[in-house]
Every structure is written in C-alpha cells, then in structure tokens.
Structure 1
C-alpha cells in the first residue's frame, strides 16, 4: 500500500510498504527517512547506515544511494521530502532565533550530516502528526506545512544536541583534525548501532572508524560523554523499547534479540534508564492503547 501527498510547494510525504530487495535512490530534495518496524539499510558509497524505528536519517539533495531491505517481513516506511526552496525560506524565517538554531544556520554549507539521529520527543510527535494528516481524506496544506516547519525546528535542535555539542567537546587545535576525528567517531557510532545485537570487540569498532583502539576510546568518551560500551548499552535499551511497543515479544525474547547476556541485567538497566521495569513499561503501553 502506498499513500502520498504532494503539496502545492512541491513538498512530498509518502507512506508505503517496502518488501525485500534493493532500490536505487537519487534524492533531489532534503528527505527524512523513517521506518516503523524491522530495519532498512541505506548504502551511501561504501558506507552503510542501518535505520531502526528508534531513529531517522536525513538525506541531502544530490545523494545517490541504495535502499535495501533484507528481512522476510513487510517494512512500513515514511518519507518526507522538502524542497531546497522550502528549507532556505525556513532558514531565513523567524523560526531561526534561538542560539542552537543560529549555530546550524551559520554552518549550513556543511550540512546536513547524513547519519542516524534519535527519533524521540517532539520529533516523534511531529512525524506521527504528519503521518496522521497523510491518511485523512481532507487536510489543510497550511497545517501540513506548519508541521513541516516544526519538523525542521526539531531536526536542527537534534543536530545541535547530537552533532554540534559533541563536536565542540573535542579539544583539537586544528579544525581540520577536529572535523576528521569527529567524522570517524560518527562511523564508530554507526557501526555500534548497526551491530548492537551481536558480539563484537572494540577493535572491530576501531577498524570500522579508522582509528586506533586507544584513540577511539579516548575521543569517543570526550565527544559523547560515554564509553563505547555505555553507548552500546544505550542503543540496546532503546531497541528493546521499540520491541516492547510492538507487543509481539516476551521479555526473554527481547533480551536475546537485543544482545543482552542475562534477563536480570537487562531488567536492572532498563529500570535505571526508564524508571520502570520492562514488564511495567509493556503494561503501561497496553493500558494506553486500550484507553
């Protein structure tokens, strides 16, 4: 099933179901990619970005890549395409007043950084609202464009939190060195996110990011305030939340699927992070959906 809405200003929202296989993509506009189950790979040159329901990717105009689904299940996706004129008008608008957004505006010639971003908070609610507008027989284009403006606001705020602040944490004198190291740390994050549910060594992450093990451990902690192992745990917990939301899996199955070694450690870490045990979290979701 494929549902799409093209606005007068040429912005486009598409919801469809993707099946196992590969598709060549050539983006003309800024394109947000979101999925609601399973995972989807985006191969940009020699680089693989694996998208899960707890994250999103923003592809820049001119990006050529391959979209690949390698699962025996239908993947529900949402693509939000914004024209360059719409984004440029937004950057000149009154929305760009806060310090965090102005930081992005000053560096827009270097962006967007095409990597995985967490799908959370206001960003999640905005995307769900856009998805709901798409399935309505009648909706206001003005309202949809307002949601699209909020989408950009939320993205730029996430950029500031996930990229700019982390970049500023690196204490290299030369800006070229700082940029190169940060780009390699992004590769390290992507490797961990792509392989979170299997066993790997820190040396594997170092190879993927073209850094020595010592340099990786030091700079990753410096930039993100977490060790690579702590970041891996964070990813696993986030993925476990997504699996709990589906209602398809038992706690024991989720422990196995996300790569934790024991149920007790998973429950302890989950409660410490989200203030509820996994079972309580699952029950709260069920109560909310039945209300």
Structure 2
C-alpha cells in the first residue's frame, strides 16, 4: 500500500495505491476523485457508483459520501479536495470581469456553488494536469506555490469540461422551461452513471429508466437529444473502452475479456472493436 497526502493551504491532495480501503462519511470540501487503474466504489447519497480508469467524479462540498476499494489487483486513485473558499475565490478571479474585481476587491457575498454530480470522462488538459500533479505528489514535491497553480489549472479545466458535458447538453434538450431542462439532465446523468457503473452486467432499458425516474420512451428521446446517441450505443462504447483497458493492461484471454465487459458474443465484440478502432483486439494488444 502507498499513501501520500499533501496539504495546500486548506486544500488536500491524496494519492493512494491499495488493494483494500474504506472511507466512511466524507464531506466538507469539493472532491475531485479519479481512478487511474482498477475500480473504486462510491456511495453518493443513495446512489451506488463505480469509478473505472479514465473517469472521475466531482462532488459538492455538502455531499456526504463513502468510498471503498476491495480488489484482487492494485487500485490507484487520486483525489483533490478543494476548500469551498478556494473554489469561491477561483470563480471570482476567473469568471468575473476585471473592472468588477477592481471595484470590489474584497469580493461578493459568498454563494453556494453547486455542480451536477456525475461521472465524467478524464481527458484533455484536465487529464494532463492531474497526471503531472500526481507525479509531483508521488515524488515528494511540497512547493505550495507550484501545487496551488496546478489546483487552479485543474479547476479551470474542470469548468470547461463541465460546460461541455452539462451546460451545453442541457441547452440541447428540447424543452422551453429551463428548470425542466436542468431536472431532465440530472436524471439523464443518473442513467448514464448507472450504465457506466454496471457496464459488465446485462442491463435492461427498463431498469435504467426506472433508476433515472423516467419512462422508457422519455429516456430514449431525451438521452438522444443530450448525448447524440442512444443508451445502447453509449453502453457499447463504455464496454469497448473498458475492453481496450483490459487488452492493454492485462494478459486475460480475449474470450474472458468479452465476458468481463458484458458482451455476449466474441464474434460480435471483435466486429464492433474493429469497426470502432480500425484494428482487431489481437492487433491492438
């Protein structure tokens, strides 16, 4: 087991590699939780969520959650816990116009920033920054100024990703009422997270719709509007990307990987993999 914890002012950065861990009732800070390899389980309010490699979840400061690891292979996780004041100061400094900041340098009355809590893809500049930050932490760097800059970059990249994954998708929903759009997207993210967390199971559309508190037809129509694909197409992509991870990082036979990621037929898996990535699973490995 490896555990590194660094405090940066009121923020906290944690890098951990372990086979087993349990952390009950976390709350008080915005939490960006990443799984670099393996899987980690989260209970967020009443939702059961599983984080897989190349994904992360960003939780609000007043959300109570537990997370645990119980694995036969080593699981590498990385977490950044942002103090609410740090997030508030970041928003003021980066989202307000300069003349407003000059007129009121001490800031505005603090507001309670809330995000839609969902599993997001770890990619682009955010992935790059978090990977470098993790390397600094694991190598023992404790330069607070440098680490604070990384935290600022991470927040900036998260806000950009949030805009594309939440704000733009919410706007694409074909409802006139903004409140309705927000509520529908929240339910769609629940459906999406459920499919990601249970990609290895034989999921039924009725099951996913029930979890999201939507009818099947409503789920199909609005999911297509928000994500430009059907739930089945989305789940297939999740399974294919997990298959890539197992091909790259394990020596499991292809037939075993097919079963692990939830496909029923090796031949259809090979065809889908080749059509999606222009190589066969064997060539990719």
Task: Please tell me the TM-score bracket, short chain as reference.
Answer: 0.7 to 0.9
Q: Deviations over 1:159-201 (max 9, x none)?
A: 1111111111111122232222222111111121121111121
Unaligned runs of 5+ in 1: 98-107, 283-291
CA contact (8 A) 1:54 1:238 kept: no
Which position in structure 2 is the counterpart of 1:135? 138
Kept in 1, the 8 Å contact 2:22–2:69? The answer is: yes
Q: Is the CA contact 1:95–1:153 (under 8 Å) kept in the aligned structure 2?
A: no
Task: Give 1:55's aligned residue.
Answer: 55
Cα–Cα, structure 1 residues 254 and 29, in superposed 2: closer, same or farther, change >3 Å? Answer: same
Cα 1:196–1:137 change in 2 (3 A) is: closer
Contact 1:197 1:259 in 2 (8 A): yes
Large movers: runs of 4+ above 4 Å: 94-97
Contact 1:59 1:112 survives alignment (8 Å): yes
Q: How many residues align?
A: 271
User: Secondary structure at 1:165's aligned position in 2?
Assistant: helix
For 2:174, the equivalent position in structure 1 comes to 171
- 2:269 and 2:95 map into 1 onto residues whose CA distance is 41
Structure 1 residues 278 and 139: CA distance shift in structure 2, 3 A: farther
C-alpha distance in structure 2 between counterparts of 1:12 and 1:150, whole Å? 15
Query: How high is the TM-score relative to the length of structure 1?
Result: 0.84
TM-score, with normalisation over the residues of structure 2? 0.86
The alignment partner of 2:181 has SS state of: helix
Whether 2:7 is the aligned partner of 1:17: answer: no
5+ residue gaps, structure 2: 98-110
| Residue pairs, 1:79-228, within 5 angstroms | 79-94=79-94, 109=112, 111-138=114-141, 140-228=143-231
**Separation (CA, whole Å) in 1 of partners of 2:60 and 2:249:** 31
Cα displacement (A) at 1:2: 1.1
